[in-house]
Amino acid sequence: MKKQPQIMRNFATPALQKRMLFLSLQREYKSKDCFPADKSMLWRWSGHTFFCGNFCIMEETDMKTDAIAIANYFVDKSLQDKTAPYQLTLLRLVKYVYIAYGFALALLNRVIIDKRFDVVEAWKYGPVIPSVYHSFKHNQNAPIANKASILINEDESGNMTFCTPQIEDEEIKQVLDFVWGKYKNRSTGELITILHSKGTPWHYCYKEGCNIEIPDEMTRLYYRSIVVNALKNDAK
């Protein structure tokens, strides 16, 4: 296996250094899983993001609300809410993030993930945003206790600056709180059934062996129908 690539430091600006690093990582590691020499952390290239353990490197530094921030919010909720009957695992986390993204499309008419880095795909076990999966997969089936951090800068001396993405938008927080309250009492099996049911975006897009993208509009229409039906039932 190849060793972890060295960060390039011989270019005039940090921005150019970072761009050259990402070109190098994409060329060497795209579609591969590779271990550094000490074999202690898994590295993987996916789109515009390079993942290692519970942090990742993003090519852009203009931080918007993204899927990692949403996932981190749910990690905080799981640690704070002592009434939740189920521990937060990777399988539950990716489902919470997708459901939140869906309800935000329906309720706020907003895409709350960053489409430069985040895409929704139909995987075997449901809708998945790969950036979330790769940032937290080192937890495997264990409860998630730590949030994911992002490397946002590396200066000419090799000093790295990290941040932990978080949700600042109050409207988005309200949607995430709603999702947590509505689904925290559902078992993992129930969450799988909900997202795999006939008529769901996953049902229409999933193809065995292929991680097919689920269009935003398909998810928007599906969750908007859930909201409309809920309002109709309340009116009865």
**pLDDT of res. 236:** 65
- The domain limits of the chain are 67-235
- CA-CA distance, 118 to 116, in Å (whole number)? 6
CB neighbour burial string for 197-232, b if at least 16 within 10 angstroms, e if fewer? eeebbbeebbeeeeeeebebebbbebbbeeeeeeee
pLDDT digits (tens, 9 = 90+) for 178-210: 999 999 999 999 999 999 999 999 999 999 999
Average pLDDT over residues 89-99: 98
**pLDDT of res. 225:** 94
